[in-house]
Structure 1
């Protein structure tokens, strides 16, 4: 330490004894889950998380249990660099079904369990935390849910309408048949009849695709449950790969609820949409196949699919009025017919 008596009385116009160090500016510890949405049954699962604090905790433990109930089981987490921690769960510890998990940080005699922030262990007899993160354990033939409106609608990016319409035009409602949430999506039209030539909703699905590992190669169709707002309307469904190459199928949809299958063999090279959209105007809106892609003999590379896009487009000779052209989608899955 420095003897204050040896320091000058002033530094320029500031007296040395006038300086006061600011209070420590820090936040409480936080934990961000980095687990995959799904893991394959019969295989060990690695769950990761990002732990942010002023100094690393003494240790961290992952606790998991089936969502339907049962006690939590703990697995020690190891540091993985850059604030990340990981825990390996053996294959025999997780069967098919939904699971939930929490993470406890230990420092000295203290322990804090996230996401609730309770100073308890989830194995304590009086633990009352209700919050937990989720993941599913699935079989290789379980259809992959690409779109579930309640969870995914708020994560979508939409075509911007002019320079002011930056928020997506959609709403969630309920299916009168199943009572499940549905995504109401219509082609925007103003009172004069004007509307964009293309209106697209885009959802990043690469984490879901990656979670299925090599088993995703066996997928051969998309299945959708939906209805149109009027008879004979068209929904354009696009799968965009990570290099921008896009595969599109035009689906004619009736006004009654139905399940429809789209074979992947029926998807053809098309144009995807770069969303979120550049500003201003519509520059760089469309994206075509990458160099060397989209030629005869090329096929969708499902393991490289990055985004699912749903598009409504104006049809030649079809008059469109507000609220009358669009679809309601209950779910979209990717699966195998074998």
Structure 2
């Protein structure tokens, strides 16, 4: 049924239709526009405090959810976000008949809507989630139809379908207790998505009937806003979705899949290079709105990747995208809501700044703009992305935004009006570990906001709990330098947030600064700005940040596990404490007698030491890291409050760096060590088999039929292992061959393709035949040729490209100094039957 027919069907019965003004509409080219014809742009986040785990956790922790919403929505504004989306937990606000329950969850959602609108944010609401309300806990007994029927039943059971239609009608007609507007009439609500990720298994007729019934129920309220439907699930029904009266489709993107339990290593830009939609030639797609309701590079803790995703969305014609999911600040210390995701301005400042840049991408880059293929597209229209620097930045005449230390120059500092960053740049140098924001509010007057330091102390993406702290907030005073012609070198700094009485002056444009909000004023400049005055959509004196969360001492150290003889060893540790730190030392053993080295303090709570190469003999360097505070001594890696010289010191676990002679084989993959770290598509035929020898195992890949990926039309199976972090202390350029210890697992030899992946997305491989006998099989590095990279982990939705084809700027010759991952693949009809114990360079 066409949308026009649906409009005509309900026009006479929709008495409120005439009264609605200001709604977004979808033009004939599928572009959402405001009534004046201006194109809609939206970029923001999902956020879930009114519902489910987030709501229950607020109760458990004694948090006022309204105060939490106030704080987080301020951060949305501070990040320049203007879009919000959520799948409402219908199971908490409905009964089995679909009647809307006005309860604490709906009241709190009303409050959130009001607060978002105060910041001029726009909303896309998905009234039906289908989910139970438990995740990551067990589902509760909830009153809603979704709890009674489940997702599958909701899509097929006549009573469930009737209940959903009733619920949608009542939900859109619900009058917000804080705004006085029904959701269908609220101009800040730009569109509705019927439901969250439906999975239709029925016939075309059944699918169209279901979707049409939902759309009709929503239109019967008089709603003129676009009604959207998820078209990225079960895409065999794409034509049915568009034929059902919807105004457009919604999409998602998890290019690194979900649930790794560890941070993924290596360059993931090939995974986000394109957002290819296989049904883009359908007329319904061309004429329908295009929205991304959820996206994330899950299990990636770096800041470089999101603007590349935003660019790919714009190339695909996406007007609106909302990241999933922004952690409520009161939960971010534990990351329990969705442990495969992590996003929060206070706790993940560099990632949050990356979203700030994404918002600029969505508002600056025209739809369908194409900037080529990685690595050719790392600079575009003022934006720059660097995997190796973990950096995303925007530089224009008026804006300078960056996620990490950058050496980039701004074209004309005199024209700058907005700066946001982390670390050091040509304009701002800051030693702290939080984000900062500088806004010119008039000539010679700038608003400075400085967030406290964030330190990740444990695996952010692991199995988390409210009782397990994975990140800390630290309030420190750090040196800052602001080089702006508009301020000069001798400007005043005055605290304007509540309780901030700091009043000082810069010395050669430098000063000490603590978390808070300040006015920087040029010498001799008079102004009348006060903390209550409004600038854009924030108050001058607003500031929201968690208090210091450190208890005791926390030390984070990334071990250099292997080192070539002749190389110095750099030892870095991030150390935070609730008591002043007096010193950090390394107690190192290369023989019986230990040697003590002192680590020097630096920026961002880091301590560093470089041990010269001549002091590092071949063998194992084993060491403790010792932290002395004003009140106690701590020893790591055990983290115990004691020191090795104490009579009752009892934990002699140490860090260990192995120093090898030059040319010692380097293991790219060891099954016993690395099995849990490989990136692959799960298959029951992939197992780890223990071997009789100590600490040895084999990776067995045994499949009678090789799977055919949704995005690939031939049998092919591949896995990938990132080894770049193990190679930081090794030189890989002098090796000559790859050696595989393994065998085929049945009566036939097994041909595998063995490939090395470089940081720039280039990949070089060759075929290798494994025989039936366990043994060593080798390939000369000079015989490796350019080949195809599989995007691993496999992205979701599964229709996204299976292979990555790099751009023209990619290296066409193997450069071993740039290699960071290995790919092993098998293709064809004869199954997959091999075992690998290790892969090494010789």
Q: Give the TM-score range, shorter chain.
A: 0.7 to 0.9
Per-residue CA deviation, residues 43-64 of structure 1 (Å, 9 max, x unaligned), is 3311112224456622111122
Partner residue of 1:195? 707
Q: 1:180 to 1:105 in 2, by over 3 A?
A: closer
Q: CA RMSD in A?
A: 2.7
Partner residue of 1:329? 836
Separation in 1, partners of 2:651, 2:801: 48
Partner residue of 2:393? none
Separation in 1, partners of 2:698, 2:787: 24
Partner residue of 1:8? none
Per-residue CA deviation, residues 89-121 of structure 1 (Å, 9 max, x unaligned), is 233432112232221111114100012122222
Separation in 2, partners of 1:272, 1:257: 28
- Count how many residue pairs are aligned between Structure 1 and Structure 2: 291
Pick the aligned partner of 1:44 from 545, 568, 591.
568
Q: 1:249 to 1:80 in 2, by over 3 A?
A: farther
Separation in 1, partners of 2:807, 2:757: 11
Alignment of 1:133-152 (within 5 A): 133-152=655-674
Partner residue of 1:226? 742
Q: 1:169 to 1:49 in 2, by over 3 A?
A: farther
Q: 1:180 to 1:24 in 2, by over 3 A?
A: closer
Unaligned runs of 5+ in 2: 1-498, 500-545, 709-714
* Residue 248 in structure 1 maps to residue 765 in structure 2: yes
Partner residue of 1:120? 642
Partner residue of 1:181? 696
Separation in 1, partners of 2:765, 2:706: 25
Report if aligned partners of 2:721, 2:821 keep a CA contact under 8 Å in 1: yes
Pick the aligned partner of 2:608 from 71, 86, 90.
86
* Residue 278 in structure 1 maps to residue 795 in structure 2: yes
Q: 1:84 to 1:97 in 2, by over 3 A?
A: same
Report if aligned partners of 2:689, 2:700 keep a CA contact under 8 Å in 1: no
Alignment of 1:38-117 (within 5 A): 38-54=562-578, 57-66=581-590, 70-117=592-639
Classify the secondary structure of the residue corresponding to 1:151. helix
Quote how far apart the aligned CAs of 1:28 are.
Answer: 4.0
Quote how far apart the aligned CAs of 1:169 are.
Answer: 5.6
Separation in 2, partners of 1:266, 1:123: 55
Report if aligned partners of 1:186, 1:312 keep a CA contact under 8 Å in 2: no
Q: 1:194 to 1:202 in 2, by over 3 A?
A: closer
Moved more, 85-94 or 105-114: 85-94
* Residue 302 in structure 1 maps to residue 809 in structure 2: no
Separation in 2, partners of 1:56, 1:247: 51
Classify the secondary structure of the residue corresponding to 2:825. strand
Pick the aligned partner of 2:782 from 265, 274, 282.
265
Separation in 1, partners of 2:703, 2:655: 36
Moved more, 129-138 or 220-229: 129-138
Report if aligned partners of 1:239, 1:306 keep a CA contact under 8 Å in 2: yes
Quote how far apart the aligned CAs of 1:282 are.
Answer: 4.0
Per-residue CA deviation, residues 203-260 of structure 1 (Å, 9 max, x unaligned), is 1112233322xx4221121111111112211122111111111111111111211111
Q: 1:94 to 1:187 in 2, by over 3 A?
A: same
Classify the secondary structure of the residue corresponding to 1:86. strand
Separation in 2, partners of 1:278, 1:81: 37
Report if aligned partners of 1:244, 1:290 keep a CA contact under 8 Å in 2: no
Q: 1:235 to 1:53 in 2, by over 3 A?
A: farther
Q: 1:123 to 1:308 in 2, by over 3 A?
A: farther
Partner residue of 1:312? 826
Separation in 1, partners of 2:570, 2:550: 30
Classify the secondary structure of the residue corresponding to 1:280. coil
Pick the aligned partner of 1:211 from 706, 713, 729.
729
Quote how far apart the aligned CAs of 1:332 are.
Answer: 1.4
Separation in 2, partners of 1:100, 1:328: 34
Classify the secondary structure of the residue corresponding to 2:824. strand
Q: 1:158 to 1:280 in 2, by over 3 A?
A: same
Classify the secondary structure of the residue corresponding to 1:276. coil
Instruction: Determine which structure has greater relative contact order: mean sequence separation of CA pairs < 8 Å that are 6+ residues apart, divided by chain length.
Output: 1
Moved more, 285-294 or 88-97: 285-294
Classify the secondary structure of the residue corresponding to 2:674. helix
User: Scaled by the length of structure 1, what TM-score is found?
Assistant: 0.77
Partner residue of 2:680? 158
Rg larger in 1 or in 2? 2
Separation in 2, partners of 1:92, 1:253: 42
Whose helix fraction is larger, Structure 1's or Structure 2's? 2
Quote how far apart the aligned CAs of 1:201 are.
Answer: 1.7
Classify the secondary structure of the residue corresponding to 1:103. strand
Report if aligned partners of 1:96, 1:137 keep a CA contact under 8 Å in 2: yes
Report if aligned partners of 1:187, 1:195 keep a CA contact under 8 Å in 2: no
Whose strand fraction is larger, Structure 1's or Structure 2's? 1
Classify the secondary structure of the residue corresponding to 2:732. helix
Separation in 2, partners of 1:266, 1:282: 33
